[in-house]
Copies of this chain bind each other. A is one copy, B any other.
Amino acid sequence: MCATYESLSKKQRQAEFTKVKSHFDSLKELGLKLNMARGKPGKEQLDLVSDILTVMVSPADCVSDGVDVRNYGELTGIPAAKRLFADILGCKPEECIIGGNASLTLMYDTISKAYTHGLLHSETPWSKLDKVKFLCPAPGYDRHFKITESFGAEMIVVPMTEAGPDMDLVEELVKDEAVKGMWCVPKYSNPDGIIYSDETIKRIANLKPAAKDFTLMWDNAYCVHEFDGDFVPFADIISLCREAGNPDMVWEFASTSKITFPGAGVSVMASSVENVAYMEKLLTVQTISYDKVNQLRHVKYLKDKAHTLALMKRHAEILRPKFQCVLRWLDQEIAPLGIATWQRPKGGYFVSVNTAPGLAKRTLALCKEAGVVMTGAGATFPYGKDPKDSNIRIAPSLPPVAELEQAMDVFCTCLKLAALEQA
């Protein structure tokens, strides 16, 4: 079948439906249990990095810059971990707070503190305001949106372009002083895999928001996460904001969750030294220190940016065939039919598929019926509401390639079926 579905006669369409339905039924009978729901590394990646378990084995291994990491203290992290992350992110060590096992928690805590205590330039805690609005480039990361939703912010969708968020719209929206911030995944955006252009980043750094405490939530989750080709250098947003006269406008986040162990790594939040000092005062009440043993473990294992990039090349060897599998299925099975388009990312953890309007929910319901779990339809939009019911996030990292072949067979079949049902 090489013609687009739109060009089919009613009879041809009926024949195609019968064929696709029959294949769907045969797939259902396999009783598959496959998961492409989350950006979860696979076992091979976990095994790749398991030497991190043995880089610290004795008391002598536990001293770094004169600090015994086994004891309390060093609230903002050990100096060696600040140097490592500054090297990776291109910022300065003194601009870094090294956190616990999850950058998501650092983001949640930042928004939470904005509500309960206010940020550096807040006139009042956000909980005291009648209205807080947050800009949400979409499709985007569902867990970002859940945070601002959970605190009752009004989320405003900003369409994503090939170059990042629609900046004409963003520049207009920030004139409203109720707009307090914007979620960004600037490199290999979740789910599109888009790298914000230099022009976009420059315009973001030069925003003139009405709210003095407007905050970029700059989630650089995939800062060194190329799976195809060499490391792509990326601007340091902290310097750019400083140069633009907005030194305290950004908090950048990153973690080692997709470098070492997911959920057992080390996170970082970075900003101006003034922001760091302010946040440190608030953090003093919340904790005595984060897990410095794990911080030092990561420093010993990752060493520096160059060594980390070499490790990421090995992750890439594992991930690339999975992404190639996804794209091969889409190119062969879906491209000719004119029922969806997709991105071809070179890094990150997702392939973002945009179906013809109204097909996403039904496609994923069919996938579920056939034993393939995907990120819920709509999840990539604020409030879980995709206005076109079109965006589907494919997360191919967890299953081995053999399972992925099956899962993509299911996915393509379900997408076709959804399209054919619709007419």
- Which B residues lie within 8 Å of A68 (CB)? 43, 46
A7 interfacial by beta-carbon distance below 8 Å: no
Instruction: Report which A residues bind B (CB closer than 8 A).
Output: 38, 40-41, 43, 46-47, 50, 53-54, 56-59, 61-62, 68-73, 100-102, 104-105, 108-109, 112, 115-117, 125, 127-128, 143, 146-147, 150-151, 257, 261-264, 282, 284-294
Asked if B286 and A104 make an inter-chain contact with CB atoms under 8 angstroms apart, the answer reads: yes
Q: A53-B56, A71-B262 are known contacts; what are 5 more A-B pairs with Cβ within 8 Å?
A: A112-B116, A143-B285, A146-B284, A146-B285, A263-B290
Asked if B40 and A286 make an inter-chain contact with CB atoms under 8 angstroms apart, the answer reads: no
Q: Taking each of A50, A71, A109, A116, which has the highest tally of chain B beta carbons within 10 Å of its own beta carbon?
A: A71
Alpha-carbon distance A380/B62, docked complex (angstroms): 32
Asked if B72 and A40 make an inter-chain contact with CB atoms under 8 angstroms apart, the answer reads: yes
- Which B residues lie within 8 Å of A286 (CB)? 104-105, 108-109, 147
| Min CB–CB distance A294 → chain B (angstroms) | 7
Asked if A263 and B285 make an inter-chain contact with CB atoms under 8 angstroms apart, the answer reads: no
Contact of A108 among B69, B128, B257, B285 (CB under 8 A): B285
Contact of A50 among B58, B108, B143, B262 (CB under 8 A): B58
Contact of A263 among B41, B57, B104, B291 (CB under 8 A): B291
| Min CB–CB distance A130 → chain B (angstroms) | 12
Asked if A291 and B291 make an inter-chain contact with CB atoms under 8 angstroms apart, the answer reads: yes
| Min CB–CB distance A280 → chain B (angstroms) | 14
Q: 15 A-B residue contacts at CB 8 Å? A: A38-B72, A40-B72, A46-B59, A46-B70, A46-B71, A53-B293, A54-B54, A71-B261, A104-B286, A116-B127, A117-B150, A127-B127, A143-B288, A263-B288, A291-B291
Closest to A102 in B: B287
